[in-house]
Amino acid sequence: MTEIVEYFEADSPYVPWAAEVTTHFMKSLGLPPYAVESLLQKGRVQSHRNGDVLAYGSEWIHIIIRGVIKETTPHGTTRLWRQGTMLGDISRVMLRKGTTDPSGARSIGPRITFLSTSVSLSVTARTLATMIEREPVLTLLLAQLTNERAQTIESVYAVSKADPGIRVARLLDYLAPPQWNHPNREKFDRLRWTRTGAYAVPDDAVTLTGPSQADIADALGLGRTTVEKVVASLRADGVLNVLAPGTRSNRYYEIGDRHRLRAMAMARAED
């Protein structure tokens, strides 16, 4: 298999590009410009490459602005998340907790591994709580992202009795890029850059770069062979496009029929 190389033709340096993507995302959620500016000033906007790791203390709240990430909790639970996910102990925002527990020890937060070119916004719980007092509209952002995370856990990760095909379809459909992505994303996604050259992406295809089949298996608690069989079946059925020999990667999925994938994802799981 070949390695997928993500390529961006940005007019500005990489970090300003990350701030631009963050601004666009926050505005897409309905935040007024003054609230967006406040977040950019108080938070840490960072760009990340595939394989980068973000490991802060538990007092930090992270919002994934772009990309796919793997979250590993201190208890060993693994989850895959897409852009728009808020990670961290949200209760600390409400309780305005500091950096240590009552014993004085520094608590450990989740380990975040970036599986694709990504952007994140990080802010401490105490800082975010202070910002909410000054800008109450940020409460809506907190509620929206917290609710979306809870819904994802319920629909994607809390269906262990469902058929493996349904579970993998739900995760792929969830991770696939939503419509609110950066306005210039279209020109980035129409070419798939690999070590052996550039390959055109079909106009009707949706691309997903990041998680390996092993990552999917770990996140869903499935065997790797099971996931491999499901992915192979999706390709045989035309839900995922079959890539030409020499251009394949186990971290790249070309969704050729999003409607069929979504129909499989919406199939009812067993109680």
Do 219 and 186 fall within a single domain? yes
Q: What is the distance, to the nearest Å, from the Cα of residue 81 to the centroid of all Cα atoms in its chain?
A: 4
Assess if residue 133 is contained within a domain: yes
CA atoms within 13 A on the CB side of 87: 30
Q: Which of 90-104, 198-212, 250-264 has the lowest mean pLDDT?
A: 90-104
Residue-level pLDDT at 182: 44
Residue that terminates a domain, selected from 157, 181, 203: 157
Task: Look at residues 90, 123, 157 and tell me which one is the last residue of a structural domain.
Answer: 157
- Whether residue 270 is contained in a domain is answered as no
Number of domains in the chain: 2
Q: 77 and 150 share a domain?
A: yes
Q: What whole-number distance in Å separates Cα of residue 210 and Cα of residue 228?
A: 16
pLDDT single digits (tens) 169-228 = 999 999 998 654 444 444 455 666 666 656 667 777 788 999 999 999 999 999 999 999
**pLDDT at residue number 16:** 84
Contact 55, 112 (CB under 8 A): yes
Q: Judge if 37 and 132 occupy the same domain.
A: yes
User: Please, what is the average pLDDT of the chain?
Assistant: 83
Residue 168 within a domain? yes
Whether residue 25 sits in one domain with residue 8: yes
Look at residue 8 and tell me whether its pLDDT is greater than 70: no
DSSP state of 106: B
pTM: 0.84
Contact predicate 133/52, CB 8 Å:
no
- Rounded to the nearest 10 degrees, the angle between the axes of helix 14-28 and helix 33-42 is 140
- What pLDDT is recorded for position 246? 66
Same-domain pairing of 33 and 143:
yes
Reply yes or no on whether the pLDDT at 232 is more than 80.
Answer: yes
In whole angstroms, how large is the CA radius of gyration of the chain? 19
Q: pLDDT (tens digit, 9 = 90+) per residue, 143-158?
A: 999 999 999 999 999 9
* Token pair belonging to 208: 């997903």
178 and 152, same structural domain?
no
What's the domain range around 126? 4-157
Which of residues 254 and 93 earns the better pLDDT score?
A: 254
Is the same domain home to 147 and 252? no
**Shared-domain flag, residues 44 and 138:** yes
Domain assignment present for residue 235? The answer is yes
Assess if residue 64 is contained within a domain.
Answer: yes
The structure tokens 């990670």 sit at 87
| Alpha-carbon distances of 212 from 50, 117, 227, rounded to whole Å | 12, 15, 10
Amino acid in position 196 = T
Is there a single domain that holds both residue 256 and residue 196? yes
Amino acid at 48: H
Within 13 Å, how many C-alpha atoms sit on residue 246's CB side? 5
Per-residue pLDDT at 112 exceeds 80: yes
Q: 4: pLDDT confidence band, cut at 50, 70 and 90?
A: very low
Asked if 119 and 188 sit in the same domain, the reply is no
Q: How far apart are CA 65 and CA 120, in angstroms?
A: 5
98 and 50 inside one domain: yes
State the average pLDDT over residues 115-121.
94
238 belongs to a structural domain = yes
181 plus 129 within the same structural domain: no
pLDDT grade, residue 7 (50/70/90)?
very low
pLDDT at 180: 44
Q: How confident is the model over 85-114, as a mean pLDDT?
A: 71
The answer to the question of residue 271 being in a domain is no
What's the rounded mean pLDDT across residues 157-169?
Answer: 94
Single out the residue of 87, 85, 49 nearest to residue 65, CA to CA: 85
Domain of 65: which CATH number? 2.60.120.10
Distance, in Å, from the CA atom of 24 to the CA atom of 245, rounded to the nearest integer, reads 37
Q: How far apart are CA 145 and CA 86, in angstroms?
A: 6
Identify the domain boundary among 142, 157, 172.
157
Q: Does residue 220 contact residue 206 with C-beta atoms inside 8 Å?
A: no
How far from 34 is each of 63, 145, 163, CA to CA, in Å?
A: 18, 19, 46
- H-run or E-run covering 209: strand 206-209
Q: What is the pLDDT of residues 35-79, one digit of tens each?
A: 999 999 999 999 999 999 987 788 899 999 999 999 998 888 999
d(CA 67, CA 51): 12
The Cα-based distances of 269 to 234, 251, 265 in angstroms read: 18, 27, 9
Residue 161 or residue 108, greater confidence = 161
Handedness of CA 230, 236, 237, 238 (dihedral sign): positive
| Cβ pair 218, 78 in contact under 8 A | yes
